[in-house]
Amino acid sequence: MLDIDLLLLSRWLTPVHDFLVPRVGAGARIGFIPTASSIYPDQTWLDLDRSSLRDQGFEVVDVDPELVSAATFTRALSEIDAVFVSGGNVFHLLGALRHAGADRPLVDAVRRGLPYIGVSAGACVTGPDIAPLALLDDPSEAAPLTSTVGLELIDVTVVPHAEGTVGGRGRIDRTRQEFADRPLHFLRDDEALVISGGTTTVIAG
């Protein structure tokens, strides 16, 4: 695993301040990628996430690869201190990133040191394969997607809401059974993963 800085969350943004400030300073500029939720008419949780980040003292600017060219998106990544990838449908997120030509610039920026914060779908997409999320998100809602290979920033697939808060515990149990041969990390809403300095740590979320 490369020496990258990732904070992967299931739901709550409480750990963001303590993760980001030592790396990029107070008042950092966060690029907010809302893509995973663009297919849903109700995006209330995006407003709540933006407000939470601002309440923690950060500047928040939307960086939406579905609305701008790949070149503009790539340039925007060079003008922010950290990137935040919101929750929603992970299949749509991956398909939209690929369709927009934004997946490789995002990976390259993170590998060059841009801190990455991913919530729910934004956490799931960082792994090797999003196929195990098919019981939690509907693949048919996705942008055109020819492969479920993820961004491959980490070597496990994060399964969020592991206590069953989204879709019920039955789906989590089925995922655990049906994908027992895959490297999965089941992440509860009160937990977060910090991947930094070549190590992975579970912290309170």
Q: Clarify whether 161 is annotated catalytic.
A: yes
User: Who's near 170: CB < 8 A, 6+ residues apart?
Assistant: 164
How far apart CA 198 and CA 57 sit, in angstroms, is 28
* Spatial CA neighbour of 111 closest among 122, 126, 95, 97: 126
The residue among 28, 30, 21 whose CA lies nearest residue 117 is 30
Please identify which of the residues 10, 37, 38, 161 carries the catalytic annotation.
Answer: 161
Q: Is 120 an annotated catalytic residue?
A: yes
* Cα-based distances in Å from 68 to 63, 64, 73: 8, 7, 6
Catalytic residue among 10, 37, 120, 185: 120
Q: What are the DSSP calls for 98-138, one per residue?
A: HHTT-HHHHHHHHHTT--EEEETHHHHTTSSB-GGGGGTS-
Q: Please give the positions annotated as active site.
A: 120, 161
